[in-house]
Amino acid sequence: MAPITPHLRYLWQHPAWPRLTWDAAALAPALEQARLEQGRLLGLLGAIGLEQANAVQRELWVQEALATAAIEGEQLNLESLRSSVAHRLALADAPGADRHAEGLVQVMQDALANHSAALDVDRLCRWQSALFPGGTSGIARIAVGRLRDHLDAMQIVSGALGREVVHYEAPPSAQVPTELAQFLAWFESTRPDGAVAAKEPINGIARAALVHLWFESIHPFEDGNGRLGRALADMALAQDMHAHDTEASPALVRVYGLAHQMLKTRSAYYDALNYTQRLRGVAPESESIDATPWVQWFVQAFTRACIASQTVVRDATDKAQFRLRAAQYQTNERQRKVLERLLEAGHVGSGGGFLGGMTTDKYAKITGTSKATATRDLVDLADKGLLRIEGVGKATRYAVNVPGWEQPEVKG
């Protein structure tokens, strides 16, 4: 294979740009697995009832918003975010919502609830404006609500000042309107649920991967491109879901947990994007740009995200069943507080668990009671079958008695 010539460093510089292709035959097993896990997740949600599904959906939305902001190094206020998500999902009012949290949730909600509405430059500009309500990124003023127009290169860099490493350089600002117009035309022509039917429909999950890659490669705004690109991937997934099931709620897309998975593997996420954007393995004479490595990574991330979300749904079911069981017994306020603390801590299988187990000392501290009262309360909960006892003597620990839940091992 011929080497890339020096001036062909980035995919938008290739003569074939923006003809992105992928090997459907090679990715068929991965796409089949993705569909299987997607179906299992949606099946679990459909089986737990509306009220419980709403609660799960709301928490997963919160985690997705936290994750998509955290990928860019932004930390959002958890309570403000929960309030904004509840309001946007019409589950509650949103007192004291943070403007940055509210803006991000607005973008996420619009991408999904209005997935069939036209995607144009104005809509993207309004999304970007919502992310920066004060017109600044940190303390730096940025171009808000409009495409970037600065003359200097738009680069993705890392490293200390003076020793920066350039991972990617986007097209010059003067090219952005044309580049974005091509992207938006393709997005419309390939929509599985739109008025314009594609001649050869693209697999919806693979299309979402290409949407994200293409948008991030253009990098049309001065800031916020990552969050917008992930919202567009979710929008593409919502269109795909609606095409397969017209009764499905687009909001369910957020329960896939894709941004959360990308955050967990942030380094691999950036590496996969960078590999394709830097034209590795693409010859200058190629008539298209092979995006198979990126699509494969995206599909696998989507699959892992669905599996992780299945655990969240199962945990929510376990908690609901436990609360119903606990409600059959007379318990005091102290006991209810500790049981809820143990439930929320989760278990090893979900990446959580109450570290070190519940002890009389911890119980006394949490509830503000004496050790004697703590012992009586814990023994009473164990007698009722709501807690199980692990260890003996000074090593006695109590764990919430949910079948299949394992707590972290006590070290030392």
CATH code of the domain covering residue 310: 1.10.3290.10
pLDDT band at residue 96, thresholds of 50, 70 and 90?
very low
Q: Where are the alpha helices (DSSP H) in 132-248?
A: 176-189, 204-218, 225-244
Domain end position, chosen among 286, 315, 344: 315
Q: What is the dihedral of CA 382, 383, 385, 386, to 10 degrees?
A: -40
Cβ burial 190-205 (10 Å sphere, 16+ → b, else e): bbbebeeeeeeebbbb
Same domain, residue pair 96 and 187: yes
The total of other beta-carbon atoms located within 10 Å of residue 403's CB is 7
Residue 4 within a domain: no
Last residue of a domain, one of 315, 346, 374: 315
Residue in the block written with tokens 């099931």: 245
Does residue 51 register a pLDDT over 60?
A: yes
The residue-averaged pLDDT of 113-131 equals 95
Structure-derived torsion over alpha carbons of residues 11, 13, 14, 19, reported in degrees to the nearest 10: 60
What pLDDT does residue 195 have?
Answer: 47
**pLDDT, position 46:** 82
Residues 302 and 356 in one domain: no
Pair (277, 340) in one structural domain: no
Phi-psi map region of 23: left, alpha, beta (phi>0 left; psi -120 to 50 alpha): beta
> Which of the four pLDDT bands, split at 50, 70 and 90, describes residue 267?
very high
The pLDDT value given to residue 95? 46
For 301-338, write each residue's pLDDT tens digit: 999 999 999 988 899 889 989 999 999 999 999 999 99
88 plus 144 within the same structural domain: yes
| Strands (DSSP E) found in 29-154 | 136-137, 140-141
What band does 93 get if pLDDT is binned at 50, 70 and 90? very low
Domain hosting 369: range is 329-400
Is 320 contained in some domain? Answer: no
Q: Tell me the one-letter amino acid at 306.
A: C
- 98-121 burial: b if 16+ Cβ within 10 Å, else e: bebbbbbbbbbbbbbeebeeebee
Weakest mean pLDDT among 140-144, 338-342, 407-411: 407-411
3-state secondary structure of 155: strand
* Mean pLDDT confidence for 225-236: 96
**Residue 254 and residue 112 in contact, taking contact as beta carbons nearer than 8 Å:** yes
Tally of domains within the chain: 2
139 and 191 together in one domain: yes
Average model confidence (pLDDT) across the chain: 87
* Residue 208, both tokens: 């979402």
Which residues in 291-386 belong to E strands, given as ranges? none
Q: Which of 315, 340, 359 is the last residue of a domain?
A: 315
Same domain, 71 and 204: yes
pLDDT at 173 over 90: yes
Q: Are 31 and 206 in contact (CB under 8 A)?
A: yes
CATH number for 363: 1.10.10.10
Higher-confidence position of 284 and 234: 234
Burial classification of residue 232, based on how many CB atoms lie within 10 Å of its CB (0-12 exposed, 13-18 middle, 19 or more buried): buried
Q: pLDDT at position 1, please?
A: 40
| 5 inside domain | no
* Per-residue pLDDT, 244: 72
- Reported residue count of the chain is 412
34 neighbors 306 (Cβ within 8 angstroms): yes
Same domain for 219 and 308, yes or no, is yes
Claim to verify: residue 173 and residue 202 sit in the same structural domain: yes
What does the pLDDT average to over 277-285? 82
Residue 391 has a pLDDT of 86
* pLDDT on residue 243: 80
Q: Work out the pLDDT band at 97, boundaries 50, 70, 90.
A: low
Both 384 and 347 in one domain: the answer is yes
Give yes or no for a contact between 277 and 217, defined as CB atoms under 8 angstroms apart: yes
